[in-house]
Amino acid sequence: MISAMSTVPAVLSPTFPSPKLKQTTERRRHNIKTICNASFFVHLSSASLCPPQRRRFCVTNASFENFGGLKKKMSDFTSLNYWVVRDYYRLVESVNALEPRTRCLSDEQLSAKTVEFRKRLRHGETLADIQSEAFAIVREAARRKLGMRHFDVQIIGGAVLHDGSIAEMKTGEGKTLVSTLAAYLNALTGEGVHVVTVNDYLAQRDAEWMGRVHCFLGLSVGLIQKGMTAKERRSSYSCDITYTNNSELGFDYLRDNLAGNGDQLVMRWPKPFHFAIVDEVDSVLIDEGRNPLLISGEANKDAARYPVAARVAELLVRGLHYNVELKDNSVELTEEGIALAEMALETHDLWDENDPWARFVMNALKAKEFYRRDVQYIVRDRKALIINELTGRVEEKRRWSDGIHQAVEAKEGLKIQADSVVVAQITYQSLFKLYPKLSGMTGTAKTEEKEFLKMFQMPVIEVPTNLPNIRNDLPIQAFATAHGKWEYVRQEVEYMFRQGRPVLVGTTSVENSEYLSDLLKEWKIPHNVLNARPKYAAREAEIVAQAGRKYAITISTNMAGRGTDIILGGNPKVGGFT
């Protein structure tokens, strides 16, 4: 196995030419360190705020109405996040001051800045020394190539990422554009930057979209996708900025550790990791953080027993021959069940060491009770493929362990693949700890801040919105029955459709998405379905691009969840727009 990375260096914080800005940066570094190492409490004494003779006051309805807003403003000023963000505005002022000069540069002069920055780094300057200039250059490049200028709060988001923190930004605030700032700045060292998304679709979208900015500035951009050859992967990892998803990144690292010689390596060894920006960081490092990525080798044993056990499981009746424990997904055979199974298998003891059937029967029962087609897995090309419960996507490289996958294959009458033994494994949390510098962005990280601090020493910085949020979040509605819930959804969709409003309906499984689709077909409501089935997944880009069109109804699993950008009115640049 190839050894892990060396000592993690201190996270760089932005500094600026003037002494006042440098002092501000040191204060921000101290504030961020305070988030990591201490609790922050502010206590306001009522006695100090008001003289004893004036403590009595009259409470009115207006007082209660205004108290909530006053409390919020007070909490804003007394939170450490407020002061950290306030310090970042010094950087914003510096970047804004450089904007008139960068606007005057020609395209050639703008792209030549990359060569200049790299030369300055070789002569002893640091990333902190050139940060404000680099951000100003990226802002101008994005304005010219994408027609999008970074807002001031997006400059703050880029600085948070560069500082090795997590930028929490609300939905629609432009996290994808924010990533270009930190990616460009850290790519100037030539050691490689990984921008990690949650799936192939988003990695390709961001590489093609944001890659235009980096390529305009003279950086090379690579993309890692499922099905690429080792040569293509090696070329992409050698680029200044590489877009990939967390799964492909993890398996490439495992395969490199199993490589027999240097020609089989695809990553940048001996230092494959330098700096990563993880999109939807809470999903990758917390929700899926402890899920192991496994590379297995075959251990061909007893494949013929699985179909036989599956037939026995069909004979057994729940509650009579076996009991189910839903809490830990376990099954237990009753005396009647043991007797019937032994009779069917013509054995005197299911647990006989020389003729062991118990494991196969128990797995067959688990496959029967807990593993549902179109919920936990789909059948495609005569294979049982796992559906990731968090992303709604098919994971072709994953297999359940301990004989469960073979039991599912037997239940579906598919070819039984041999039992496997794990030859390499790593969790996402362990994988991303190998980066000397790590950052992330998401819309929902503050609730997991303690875990991020404990495991990665990464504080969460709440970046303010560019404009006040006017979205109205309605309360959750609960229904006594599933039938009542789906009937209500159908009526709500039909009401919105009559108004011409685009609707996105999120479901938890392939099965539920197709059930709702059948309900809408009964009322002849036109709609699109997006789930893990090949006929729908192949049209993912088109369906998502046009989900915001007038009268568009889209039923989706969580494939159209994190990171998906749905534009109101539809996207005329993607096929299917009329």
Which whole number is the average pLDDT over 382-389? 87
> Is 533:510 a contact under the CB 8 Å cutoff?
yes
pLDDT at 255 over 90: yes
Residue 552 has pLDDT above 70, yes or no: yes
How large is the average pLDDT for residues 224-238? Answer: 95
> What is each CA distance from 328 to 366, 386, 390, in whole angstroms?
11, 20, 19
Residue 223: enclosing H or E segment and its boundaries? strand 221-223
Question: What are the chain's domains?
Answer: 19-43+63-293+429-462 (3.40.50.300), 300-418 (3.90.1440.10), 482-560 (3.40.50.300)
Model confidence pLDDT, tens digit, residues 332-360: 999 999 999 999 998 989 998 888 899 99
**10-30 average pLDDT score:** 45
Which tops the pLDDT comparison, 546 or 252? 252
pLDDT of residue 420: 65
562 has a pLDDT exceeding 80: no
- Render pLDDT for 369-381 as a digit per residue (tens, 0 to 9): 999 998 899 998 8
Instruction: Give the CA count within 13 Å in the CB-facing half-sphere of 45.
Output: 4
The pLDDT of residue 327: 83
Residue 18's pLDDT is what?
45
Helix axes 127-145, 175-187, angle to 10 degrees: 130
* pLDDT, tens digit, 9 for 90 and up, residues 60-80: 333 333 434 434 454 555 578
CA distances from 89 to 21, 83, 92, 464 (A): 10, 10, 5, 11
What pLDDT sits at residue 199? 87
d(CA 464, CA 155) in angstroms, rounded, equals 11
Contact 14, 162 (CB under 8 A): yes
Question: Average pLDDT of the chain?
Answer: 84
Question: What integer pLDDT is reported at residue 278 of this predicted model?
Answer: 97
**Percentage of residues of the chain with pLDDT beyond 90:** 60
Going by pLDDT thresholds of 50, 70 and 90, the confidence category of residue 488 is very high
199 CB burial (10 A radius; 0-12, 13-18, 19+): buried
DSSP-assigned beta bridge partners for residue 92: none
| CB distance 14 to 132 below 8 Å | yes
pLDDT at res. 388: 80
Distance of CA 559 to the CA centre of its chain: 11
